[in-house]
A and B are shown apart, each in its own frame.
Chain A
Amino acid sequence: MKILVIEDDRATADYLVKGLREAGHVADHADNGKDGLFLAASEHYDAMIVDRMLPGRDGLSLLEVLRATGNQTPAVVLSALGSVDDRVKGLRAGADDYLVKPFAFSELLARLEALQRRFSAAAPVTRLQVADLEMDLLARTVKRGGKAVDLLPREFQLLEFLMRNAGHVVTRTMLLENVWDYHFDPQTNVIDVHVARLRQKIDKDHPVPLIQTVRGAGYVLREPA
């Protein structure tokens, strides 16, 4: 992906650009809102990382300007303001995702990739398929190896999110935000329990497990190589 990083703090910017390049992406960097706005408007990017506190300009107002001009490049806003309401404000202002500093790089990467997939989907999908697992989004049915799997509504949403991001790591926080719309971290591993239940229904009796745990990061749904 080609990613624009708008971040005034040199250390953070270096860390981001280096990390992105190591992960195989192309990264441009602007260290103030004016340059950022110019780059975002004049070049095509797959995604943007925007710091909320920029010298002379709030990252959110920059996004509002961009969105007003019809630029829909998916953007992750970074902020040191960590309260739930700051997130909500950020998402309202045109951010597609919101990450509180400091963050784990794996979390940022997972979110960027998920965003990019969400936006590059050309037409709305009605079917998702990974290996022999099929999901019909219209009929809201799931089959594994041709056999119907009975899922609760929430389990269906969880599986949908995993399937839409098949092959990519999704973090627990991403699941909480996207499936439950909760922007806080529970103290217990409540997500693990839900995933374990889903696994029971999807992977039980199948020699090939599709839902895998990535320690220290989250989960990934994919066919084992």
Chain B
Amino acid sequence: MNRLSFLRTSTFRLAAFYLGLFTLSVGAVLGVVWWFTAGFVERQAEQTVLREVQELRHALATRGRIGFLQLVSDRSQAQRTNMIYAVASPRLDIVTGNLAPWPIPDARSGWVEFEIKTVREPGPSRPAIALVIDMGNFGWLLVGHDMTERYLLREQLLTALIWAVSLALVVGAGGAVLISRRVARRIDSINTTIDRITAGAFADRMPLSGTDDELDRLSAKLNSMLDEIARLMLNLRQVTDNVAHDLRTPMSRLRSRLEMALTDQRLSEAQRGQLEQAVEEIDRMLSVFKAILDIAAAESGRARADFGPVDLAALADNVAELYQPVAEEKGLTLTLDAAPGVTVSGSGQLLAQALSNLVENAIKYTPPGGRVAVRVLSGARAALAVEDSGPGVPEAQRGRVLERFVRLEEHRGTPGHGLGLSLVAAVARLHGAELRLEDNAPGLRAMLSFSG
């Protein structure tokens, strides 16, 4: 299965959809986490500042300006405090606190954010937030919070969250791919089995994994459908065979009647001609019936009992010799190219009949001036092949032409009953051989390859 077609499968699309949902929910969870941690850190800082401001205002109200300044100064001196204090005159001169100079160009009540620049120890500036309060005649009060550590924490948290999301995405995507691949593989195996069955391996069935999941149940349903189709096909075939069988006797009686009539000396030439044509017509019908029964006999496998060694070169030589004049009559060259010493186990008569049918077809469909080649191939698999330079068979039709009575539309006009290739296919099955129709570019190559 190539990458693109995999991305097009519905299992993958479903997996991708779930991955999207999964990512969204992971995102939501992390958003909540963010809100309760990073957000909380900021809110907590703000609340600390607010509490401090209230305390200082309370001190201002109860202890007066001196007490208030004292308190601010004390608080400013506290060891390792993150709090920032500044009291400034209305003209923004620092009166007390641990921040100098006044950090912002102007002053108005409300929250501000700024960078603390320390003159003594140059280094990275430190972010801070502060609440500025207008105390009228008393000037300005700034209570802030050094946010350096808090922002650091927030950054680490953000990094952690990004990692978590990416990890979740990777794991989710991997899982989605794995799961959809597993499902896709099983659906794939169903597809390849169906392809094999369509190509003629009618006895094949879907593999079951034994888990009794929905795919297994689908496979089992497909299998029982195939069994039913096989049963119907068999019925149809039996009906055809029986009809062929039962009609042969009356047909031959009819033929004998006509023969008797032909011996009558009082017949006019015209009557004789009519009767003779009728006899030939019956012979054609009988040959169709015979072909049907030949196929049935080959398919029954009874002939296997009489299998013996068959020399393919001799067989091909005889068939080619039989059809040589027929090919020449039509202006075709018939060549034989037989590897010697290739022997298979089989029925010489049936194989000769199959090869004859292939050669007949090649001769029938190849226009005058064309070539027909009969080959015996040695190698890993012995094979009989008939190649022609005719119109060939379109790839889509190659499976169909092996069926009984199937004739391609464009050849409706030529004589034939559409059973020739069916017989070849039946003989192939009987011998455990594979019948393949291939493009001979131009024309058709029909190949019977024997196994082992």
> What is A's interface to B at a CB cutoff of 8 Å?
15, 19, 22, 82-85, 88-89, 101-106, 154, 180, 182-188, 190, 193-194, 196-197, 215-217
Contact = CB atoms under 8 A, between A and B. Distances in A.
A9 to B, nearest CB: 10
Contacts of B323: 190
A199 B357 CA distance: 26
A102 B252 CA distance: 6
A212 to B, nearest CB: 14
Q: 3 closest A-B pairs (Cβ-Cβ)?
A: A102-B252, A216-B279, A83-B297
Interface of B: 248-249, 251-253, 255-256, 258-260, 262, 275-276, 279-280, 283, 287, 290-291, 293-294, 297-298, 302-303, 305-306, 318, 321-323, 325-326, 329, 347, 349-350, 352-353, 356-357, 360, 363-364, 416-417, 420
Nearest to B284: A187
Given A85-B302, A187-B420, A22 B260 contact: yes
A84 B279 CA distance: 25
A49 to B, nearest CB: 15
Contacts of B417: 187
Given A15-B256, A104-B255, A184 B349 contact: yes
Contact of B360 (A88, A154, A187, A215): A187
Nearest to A92: B306
Contacts of B255: 104
A216 B290 contact: no
Given A104-B255, A194-B325, A215-B276, A186 B318 contact: no
29 contacts: A15-B253, A15-B256, A19-B260, A82-B290, A82-B297, A84-B347, A85-B302, A85-B306, A89-B306, A101-B252, A102-B253, A103-B252, A180-B318, A182-B322, A182-B349, A182-B353, A183-B349, A184-B349, A184-B352, A184-B353, A186-B322, A187-B360, A187-B420, A188-B363, A190-B323, A190-B360, A193-B325, A215-B279, A216-B258
A183 B306 CA distance: 15
Contact of B349 (A88, A106, A188): A88
A88 B275 CA distance: 34
A190 B276 contact: no
B252 A197 contact: no
Contacts of B294: 82-83, 184
B306 A88 contact: yes
A182 B302 contact: no
Contacts of B350: 84, 184
Contacts of A19: 256, 260
Contact of B259 (A82, A89, A106, A196): A106
Contacts of B256: 15, 19, 104-106
A182 B352 contact: yes
Contacts of B347: 84-85
B325 to A, nearest CB: 5
Best-buried of A88, A101, A188 by chain B (most CB within 10 Å): A188
B446 to A, nearest CB: 15
A162 B395 CA distance: 46
A147 B353 CA distance: 38
B290 A185 contact: yes
A197 B252 CA distance: 30
Contact of A193 (B259, B297, B326, B349): B326
Contacts of A188: 326, 360, 363-364
A103 B290 CA distance: 11
A138 B228 CA distance: 64
Contacts of B251: 102
Contacts of A104: 252, 255-256, 259
B379 to A, nearest CB: 28
A213 to B, nearest CB: 10
A173 to B, nearest CB: 11
A85 B252 contact: no
Contacts of B275: 216
Contact of A102 (B248, B357, B364): B248
Given A84-B353, A184-B294, A190-B326, 20 more contacts: A15-B253, A22-B260, A82-B290, A84-B350, A88-B349, A89-B306, A101-B248, A103-B252, A104-B255, A105-B256, A154-B321, A183-B349, A186-B360, A187-B416, A187-B417, A188-B360, A188-B364, A190-B323, A196-B325, A215-B279
Which of A88, A193, A217 has the most CB atoms of chain B within a 10 A radius of its CB? A193
Contact of B249 (A82, A101, A105, A184): A101
Nearest to A188: B360
A102 B249 CA distance: 5
